[in-house]
Structure 1
């Protein structure tokens, strides 16, 4: 078809779909989440857009669909830099689509259950990104079946219809424990995250699996139950101090837990890494400036946020939510909180 025959005053997405010989849903995905379609399809859609002169009109789209132009991010602790980095990624992607991001701190005293439930309404937002693992989406859907599109970010969902963007926690735990094994440690403990959440359970599973591969009995390993907080690290340090036989290295499920663990030991003269090596998980901004600088598993938090936002946009544009899970790879950042068994600093 000649370009002059295709172009008209107000081309629509249907015109683009006809010109590219694809569905309107495919056009929407190609424009809103290009990484979700093949390069060949992207090229076909891009050529059709140029031929038809189509321009995505966000204001008209919002009026037609009665959209709010707003995405809600439900966050358990806005003050935690782990979440603020993820939010930066979400906001970057949404800004490109002229979407506002409303951030709601789910743990604030003023955040009532009714107020949270109000967010799960199509009248109040176009989509929701959940960063708080305490939500049961299945229970919410049972009482309110007409939910806006939802994705979870950094957490797993109990609803298979909800896409997730997470880090590979099993791999992260493996990186941490393998590093300690390479330094000669055989007596290794783990301060867990929340065991009611899958990320916390996965880190325990990864910890035990790596020990088992090293011919160490994971059931005899030291497990200190925690919840990602400074306080749980302090509690684990107190327990560690009272052990008749102490692990020479400890893997903490979160950097903040590691900070609490190290600080409590420092108060009684126990030196890290001379007396015990410590590895964290997250690589939050302060990790490299702590004393000693923390060896930790880096989560690509901004990328996790960007992927979560792309998943949400794809569902909002009619994509299949059950095809959208994304798992990103972490990596180990070696600093000064780990040393060879016996206290000598690694190279």
Structure 2
């Protein structure tokens, strides 16, 4: 086949040693094709470049085989693994992925909706937790969309993510089992639903153990390292000290650990710390961070599968799919000592 000649479905079928009908099924209804056969077809598509040509043809016909992924921060350690799941599932259905990086700028999110209005994208995966402000003025109705990583606040769109409350319960139950009774929660938020759900899990665990919920030990935070460091400083200024810190995510936990270490305290000798997410940095901390692991690749895969149901005008059985998280026990949690002196 000449490099200048566009690949055809016949080329894919010939290389994969299957029928043209099988190639078509592998692209459009992959769940009906055996895994081994689907792999052969996928490899043949990659070699021939047929997928790219199919996408180009769909655009010329006024339809798109692209999915828009809108993310506030592509540097977030959670993003890449969720994207792997999204992209793998999209490719299995003959679709590609466009990444819209908003950099936490609402105007950028609105600009990316132009891809949907101009038929350059068929649907949207939303990482931001909010719909682009003013989207109603740009599109008559929201296209098929699914939220991931952060539930969409008042968005009314389906969501696939981790069971935040269940994960928080696993972390708080571990700390209580180790003997901690004064446990701070770092990362309260009134605008991020995921953070609110993790706080709810913390509160449920404390109540289940019949422990006092001290409002002075619940600290706000935006999920950054700096917010964790600031929370520690504020608690020391108030002279309201816990024996353990349950953090809304790993970035916050890293900030807490750095602040405690800077004050000369040891972890877990003086304080225990838990995180949430299991980002790569968790294993590089000293001590290594006990945390809750999100099934990020599985979240991406299920979110994209749900989006394809919406694209086919199927009504999903569930509008919220929560995957079970895992507790990862490392070295940042131990039994409490008496409260350290300031």
**Deviation of the 1:247 alpha carbon:** 0.3
- Flag the 1:99–1:203 CA change in 2: closer, same or farther, 3 A: same
Does 1:159 pair with 2:159? no
CA distance in 2, matches of 1:110, 1:205: 28
1:242 aligns with 2:237: yes
Task: Report how far residue 65 of structure 1 moved.
Answer: 6.2
Deviations 1:283-332 (A, max 9, x none): 01121121110000111111111111111111112211464531100011
Q: Out of 273, 277, 288, which is 1:278 matched to?
A: 273
Q: SS where residue 112 of structure 1 aligns?
A: helix
Partners of 1:110 and 1:167 lie apart in 2 by 25
Please tell me the root mean square deviation across aligned C-alpha atoms, in Å: 3.2
Cα distance change on mapping 1:174 and 1:10 into 2, 3 Å: closer
Structure 1 residue 108: Cα displacement: 6.2
* Secondary structure, counterpart of 1:151 in structure 2: strand
Q: After superposition, what is the alpha-carbon deviation per residue over 1:263-293, rounded to whole angstroms, capped at 9, x for unaligned?
A: 1221121211111100000001121121110
**C-alpha separation between the residues in 2 aligned to 1:323 and 1:109?**
31
One of 222, 225, 231 as aligned partner of 2:220: 225
| TM-score (ref. length: structure 1) | 0.77
| Aligned partner of residue 281 in structure 2, secondary structure | helix
Is this contact kept in 2: 1:105–1:111, CA < 8 A?
no
Query: Of residues 181, 187, 196 in structure 2, which corresponds to 1:192?
Result: 187
Aligned to 1:53: none
Distance 1:113 1:281, change over 3 A: closer
- Residue 97 of structure 1: how far off its partner (Å): 2.1
Kept in 2, the 8 Å contact 1:188–1:221? The answer is: no
Which of these residues, 166, 190, 199, is aligned with residue 171 of structure 1? Answer: 166
Where does residue 204 of structure 2 map in the other structure? 209
1:135 is matched with 131
* Aligned-residue offset at 1:220: 4.4
Per-residue CA deviations over 1:100-122 (Å, capped at 9, x if unaligned) read 21111111669635523324425
TM-aligned CA deviation for residue 255 of structure 1: 0.1
State the match for 1:69 in structure 2. Answer: 65
Q: Which residue pairs with 2:114 in the alignment?
A: 118
Residues of 2 paired with 1:143 and 1:101: CA distance? 22
Q: Distance between the aligned counterparts of 1:63 and 1:255, measured in 2?
A: 41
The CA distance in 2 between the partners of 1:113 and 1:311, in whole Å, is 22
Q: Give, in angstroms, the shift of residue 135 of structure 1.
A: 2.5
Q: Can you give the 5+ residue segments of structure 2 that lack an aligned partner in the other structure?
A: 1-18, 34-49
Aligned pairs for 1:76-87 (under 5 A) are 76-87=72-83
Selected match of 2:284 from 274, 289, 293: 289
Tell me the CA shift for residue 259 of structure 1: 0.5
Cα distance per residue 1:16-66 (max 9 Å; x no partner):
9xxxxxxxxxx99x925x4xxxxxxx69xxxxxxxxxxxxx9739936963
CA distance in 1, matches of 2:116, 2:136: 9
1:146/1:319 CA distance change after superposition, 3 Å: same
The one-character-per-residue Cα deviations of 1:214-262 (angstroms, maximum 9, x if unpaired) are: 1112254610100111110110111122232410001000100110111
Question: Residues 115 and 166 (structure 1 numbering): CA distance in 2 closer, same or farther, change over 3 Å?
Answer: same
Whole-angstrom distance in 2 between the partners of 1:235 and 1:119: 40
Pair 1:93 & 2:89 matched: yes
The alignment partner of 1:282 has SS state of: coil
Question: Could you say which residue in structure 1 is the equivalent of 2:263?
Answer: 268
Bigger CA drift: 93-102 or 297-306?
Answer: 93-102
